[in-house]
Structure 1
């Protein structure tokens, strides 16, 4: 059975869409899933505005892919280049996972196409990322929320209509439903099953989005709604009844 750490990953970053302040987070989270064997960042490197990106990316030996702003819609030009490279990597059979870093919904069709070839898909973007893109991935990281959690002294941004992070109450309701659907005879549910189904229903879920640095199981353990136990290194969870 393949685990998150078994993957060989192609990391593709849309520099026109993502700030370089997130690069350390991007590399750290991607590395949790396996080995990054291809790391590319896309943009028009002749532009002064990407100067900071270049200095940050050199730290991690990322490959700079040049896309001149010679079309009326420069953003789409960069998207096309990234999509072509992704398909080339797919057919090379050298990777079995992709991590695409962008908040641009134009990549949704690419993600669906890669999934058809059994690629493991990791996404990263800001809270403004459209839900249709977030839900296309197996796993999605809201990198702006991770940055805020790592820098608690930094003032948190006000929530706005573009934020698609589920409310805490919504996540708790989802977990309760998953537990109820997977109860064993003793009234407990295997945490591994609950966690897997939650990841599929809400790819963007991460305790860090709610100001917690705990792992998911310990995060839910803090709520009065749940009970958790471990037996022979197997974790279980159930709804706490009064």
Structure 2
């Protein structure tokens, strides 16, 4: 008898096809494969619509069950409610620890909050147009169009013709936000302070790894958006914190300076 997957590795993938891109499903499935087993796969939509024809092939290829719901009234559809009902049924009848919602629709924010109240992880996949309340409600949100680049076409070169030297594209890095500006960002300061305090041990220090893990669960936080390649660089730039980067167990680590307000 094959080994049964652990309940906390089971993932439910629920797709709002009206607000999702079929071409991204391979990336989504691959991303979820690193987190567990996607045993429940459902996509909701009115498949009679021409706009959803691109889903026909991928639904079969990735074993996603299509759920048909016709539009009851022009401009409205029943798919959102159907997805919501199924999510709640799964919550109470299946051993699922992680829900994945593929949508950019803010209407699902109450559902995300309800699932998280039950201790479930909620991973969102959507576009950058997704409203911030929905993005921040998710445990983790992936913007499918944030790094959407197309590979340049290569022309066939003639025999014995030397190949032009390839140059690496310049990668732009946001300008580092100065210390004074960072400290004026009350939301950011509260976020960093809380992350450090929640992970501070008896010695008064917090492991930077644990702090980073705490911050990664707080929605869209990313120190790179502030111009800092590493999290330790961000803390080191703010004089409210003290950092140690020695090559010892438990390092690097960070501490909140008590004499700073």
With normalisation by structure 2, the TM-score equals 0.66
1:189 maps to which of 184, 187, 206: 206
| 1-structure distance, mates of 2:24, 2:141 | 14
Matched ranges for 1:57-96 at <5 A: 57-74=59-76, 76-96=77-97
CA displacement at 1:13 relative to structure 2 = 0.8
CA displacement at 1:180 relative to structure 2 = 5.4
Partner of 1:46 in structure 2? 48
Q: Is the 8 A contact 1:39 1:62 kept in 2?
A: yes
Change (3 A) 1:180 1:66: closer
Matched ranges for 1:159-174 at <5 A: none
Structure 2 SS opposite 1:37: strand
| 2-structure distance, mates of 1:94, 1:221 | 38
| 2-structure distance, mates of 1:29, 1:230 | 32
Change (3 A) 1:131 1:91: same
CA displacement at 1:238 relative to structure 2 = 3.7
| 1-structure distance, mates of 2:245, 2:202 | 16
Change (3 A) 1:53 1:186: same
Q: Higher Cα Rg: structure 1 or 2? A: 2
| 2-structure distance, mates of 1:99, 1:179 | 25
CA displacement at 1:222 relative to structure 2 = 6.8
Work out the number of aligned pairs and report it: 213
Partner of 2:11 in structure 1? 9
| 2-structure distance, mates of 1:26, 1:19 | 11
Partner of 1:55 in structure 2? 57
Q: Is the 8 A contact 1:14 1:41 kept in 2?
A: yes
Q: Is the 8 A contact 2:100 2:123 kept in 1?
A: yes
Unpaired stretches in structure 2, ≥5 consecutive residues: 1-6, 153-181, 238-242, 256-261
2:220 maps to which of 187, 204, 207: 204
What's the C-alpha RMSD, in Å, of the aligned pairs? 3.6
Partner of 1:115 in structure 2? 116
Partner of 2:142 in structure 1? 141
After the TM superposition, which of the residue ranges 97-106 and 120-129 deviates more from structure 2? 120-129
Greater fraction helix: 1
Change (3 A) 1:178 1:42: same
Q: Is the 8 A contact 1:13 1:101 kept in 2?
A: yes
Structure 2 SS opposite 1:95: coil
CA displacement at 1:183 relative to structure 2 = 5.4
| 1-structure distance, mates of 2:128, 2:112 | 19
Q: Is the 8 A contact 2:8 2:96 kept in 1?
A: no
Q: Is the 8 A contact 2:100 2:122 kept in 1?
A: yes
Higher relative contact order (CA closer than 8 Å, sequence separation 6+): 1
Q: Is the 8 A contact 1:178 1:194 kept in 2?
A: no
